[in-house]
């Protein structure tokens, strides 16, 4: 009997091993109606997620992508957080993906991203609903409102913030800029003023940010868990605010949240509570964090490149010298005259690569350059691999704003520049981001000099961060 039991155990064990082996083989050799791009899907379920999230202490393309580009070329396959993905560093494929959105591709992000941003977030919506939300957001962030209202308010906030920072021995720049921009945008979005609120709303977003691009393990102590808790707390504040405003039928429209509530009160509303809350959450996050990271890197790059700083300072001092009243606010005409500044901003965002990947999903089997992208697979457009390609940008890691001299103005994503996305989903906050960066630079270089006190080291995981901060001391110019 014992021998029979042993045989049975061995038979079951062998069957399990064979079943696992077959499953693992099918995982690593998926069926496709054509030739899949080269690459590895890694371990079953886990894929190559650990390698993707491995930290990288440079501005260069991540080792994960760089090693695979060298081995497989500009188009390769992998698996991240349980999904099969084609990674593209090919400018032609990138452009094709953006141009065919809504036809062959649609916006898509891994399930973990969707959990973070909400299942009704604007990145997960398509067709009419996405266009409808984009039109609403452009009321706030479009050029007309920037010209009429936001430029002046931004200039005032930058000037006041810098003056406050200059009174301290040093300031951690990333945190300080984040606070400044959050206060500007949160006031326009939800009339939020930290001095008058019992809720420290930005604290929840800081917790959220630390785990946004991290390994998706939702257990206490992990960055991802902290991220999800930050979202939960921020959404609690927004939901309470919405309920109070919905109950106040006599309230006058004061901010963007009121605009959304007016849409919800229509006779046949398109806007739902879930969509409104997820939209507000995404806007509060996106409007300050990406620009703050880019500006922090920009100040670091300017400090390390005195020739660029000198040329930039000369442009802004000339603007001030042409004013009748030197203390008046920045005008739209002055902003539009900042030729070299716009080149500096393009160069900063090219090197910053705040967004390490832009995700889409194939709606059907797609043939491109001899490869098949199967229906349902993700496609990760990889901006850093294009922005730092030496065949496209000479000496790509050099901070050289003059490379943009005499180039046509970029008003959308191109094959070789996609810092603000591309296609139908070109970032609606692009103009606001450029205004914020230009205004901050104007106030900084005309009124202050600065020195680095400590920090400034960069880590990408794969998003950009300053793990030990970037502390600077400001000195008012005489």
Express each pLDDT in 36-78 by its tens digit.
999 999 888 788 888 888 888 888 999 999 999 999 999 999 9
For residue 317, pLDDT over 90 is answered with yes
Q: What is the mean pLDDT of residues 156-176?
A: 96
What is the longest distance spanned by two Cα atoms in the chain? 104
Residue 201 is classified by DSSP as H
Q: Identify the band that residue 23 occupies on the pLDDT scale cut at 50, 70 and 90.
A: very low
Strand, coil or helix: what is 34? coil
Least confident of 87-101, 124-138, 226-240, 318-332: 124-138
Look at residue 1 and tell me whether its pLDDT is greater than 80. no
- Provide the pLDDT for residue 121: 67
The whole-number pLDDT of residue 174 equals: 93
- DSSP assignment of 271-288, as one string? --HHHHHHHHHHHHHHTT
What are the backbone angles phi and psi of residue 472, rounded to the nearest 5°? -130, 155
pLDDT band at 125 (very low <50, low <70, confident <90, very high): low
Give the whole-number percent of the chain exceeding pLDDT 70: 87
Instruction: Examine the pLDDT at 299 and tell me if it is beyond 90.
Output: yes
Q: Which residues contact 453 (CB under 8 A, 6 or more apart)?
A: 170, 471, 472, 473
Residue among 421, 352, 360, 350 at smallest CA distance from 386: 350
The pLDDT confidence band at residue 271, using thresholds 50, 70 and 90, is: confident
What are the φ and ψ backbone dihedral angles of 162, each rounded to 5 degrees? -60, -40
Please determine, for residue 25, whether its predicted confidence score (pLDDT) is greater than 50.
no
Q: What is the pLDDT of residue 304?
A: 96
Which alpha helices (H) appear in 360-413, and where do they start and end?
Answer: 383-387
Starting at the edge strand found earlier in the chain, the sheet holding 83-88 runs 75-80, 83-88, 378-381, 358-362, 105-107
What 3-state class would DSSP assign to 119? coil
Place of tokens 């102590």: 221
- Whether 105 has a pLDDT exceeding 70, the answer reads yes
Taking Cα atoms as reference points, which of 214, 190, 216, 219 lies closest to residue 202? 190
pLDDT of residue 410: 76
The predicted structure's pLDDT at residue 12: 55
Joined tokens for residue 112: 């973990």
Residues of the chain above pLDDT 90, percent = 46
pLDDT over 90 (residue 313)? yes
Quick: pLDDT tens for 195-238.
666 456 777 766 665 566 566 677 887 777 887 887 888 888 88
Confirm whether residue 443 is marked as ligand binding: no
Predicted local confidence at residue 349, as pLDDT: 95
Q: What is the mean pLDDT of the chain?
A: 86
Q: Is the pLDDT of residue 140 over 90?
A: no
The tokens describing 23, both together, are: 């499953």
pLDDT of 237 reads 86
Q: Of how many residues is the chain composed?
A: 478
Among the ranges 65-79, 231-245, 455-469, which has the highest mean pLDDT value? 65-79
Instruction: Specify the pLDDT at position 328.
Output: 83
DSSP state of 363: S
pLDDT tops 60 at residue 448: yes
pLDDT of 180 > 60? The answer is yes
CB 223 within 8 A of CB 185: no
Phi-psi region of 155 (alpha: psi -120 to 50; beta: other; left: phi over 0): alpha
CA-CA-CA-CA torsion sign (196, 197, 198, 204): negative
Q: What are phi and psi of 277, to 5 degrees?
A: -65, -45
Decide if pLDDT at 291 tops 80.
yes
Task: Mark 395-406 as b/e (b = at least 16 C-beta within 10 Å).
Answer: ebeebbbebbee
Q: Please name the helix (run of DSSP H) or strand (run of DSSP E) that holds residue 83, with its range, or none.
A: strand 83-88
């Amino acid at each position: 009997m014992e021998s029979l039991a042993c045989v049975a155990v061995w038979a079951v064990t062998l069957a399990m091993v064979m079943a696992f082996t077959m499953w693992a083989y099918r995982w690593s050799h998926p069926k496709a109606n054509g030739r899949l791009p080269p690459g590895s899907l890694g371990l079953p379920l886990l894929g190559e997620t650990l390698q993707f999230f491995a930290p990288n202490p440079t501005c260069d393309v991540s080792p994960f992508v760089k090693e695979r580009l060298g081995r497989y070329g500009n188009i390769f396959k992998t698996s991240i957080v349980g999904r099969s993905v084609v990674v593209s560093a090919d400018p032609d494929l990138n452009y094709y993906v953006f141009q065919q959105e809504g036809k062959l591709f649609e916006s898509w992000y891994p399930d973990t991203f969707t959990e973070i941003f909400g299942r009704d977030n604007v990145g997960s919506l398509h067709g009419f609903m996405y266009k409808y939300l984009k039109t609403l957001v452009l009321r706030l962030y479009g050029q007309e409102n920037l010209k009429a209202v936001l430029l002046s308010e931004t200039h005032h906030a930058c000037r006041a913030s810098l003056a406050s920072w200059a009174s301290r021995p040093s300031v951690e720049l990333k945190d300080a800029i984040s606070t400044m921009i959050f206060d500007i945008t949160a006031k326009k979005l939800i009339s939020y003023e930290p001095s008058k609120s019992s809720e420290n709303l930005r604290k929840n977003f800081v917790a959220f940010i630390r785990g946004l691009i991290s390994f998706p393990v939702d257990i206490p102590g992990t960055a991802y868990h902290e991220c999800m808790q930050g979202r939960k707390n921020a959404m609690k504040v927004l939901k309470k605010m919405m309920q109070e405003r919905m109950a106040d039928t006599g309230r006058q429209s004061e901010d963007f949240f009121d605009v959304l509530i007016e849409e919800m009160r229509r006779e046949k509303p398109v806007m739902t509570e879930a969509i409104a809350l997820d939209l507000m959450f995404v806007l509060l996050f996106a409007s300050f964090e990406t620009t703050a990271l880019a500006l922090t890197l920009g100040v670091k790059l300017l400090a390390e490149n005195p020739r660029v700083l000198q040329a930039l300072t000369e442009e802004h001092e000339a603007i001030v010298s042409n004013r009748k009243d030197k203390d008046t606010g920045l005008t739209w005409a002055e902003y539009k005259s900042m030729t070299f500044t716009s080149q500096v901003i393009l160069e900063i965002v090219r090197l910053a690569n705040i967004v390490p990947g832009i995700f889409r999903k194939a709606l059907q089997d797609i043939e491109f350059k001899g490869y098949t992208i199967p229906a349902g697979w993700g496609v990760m457009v990889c901006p850093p691999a294009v922005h730092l390609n030496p065949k496209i940008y000479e000496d790509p890691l050099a901070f050289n704003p003059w490379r943009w001299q005499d180039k046509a103005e970029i008003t959308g994503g191109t094959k070789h520049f996609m810092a603000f996305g591309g296609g139908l989903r070109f970032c609606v906050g692009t103009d606001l981001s450029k205004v914020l960066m230009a205004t901050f630079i104007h106030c900084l270089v005309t009124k202050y000099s600065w020195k680095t006190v400590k920090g400034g080291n960069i880590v990408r995981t794969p998003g950009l961060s300053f793990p030990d901060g970037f502390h600077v001391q400001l000195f008012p110019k005489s």
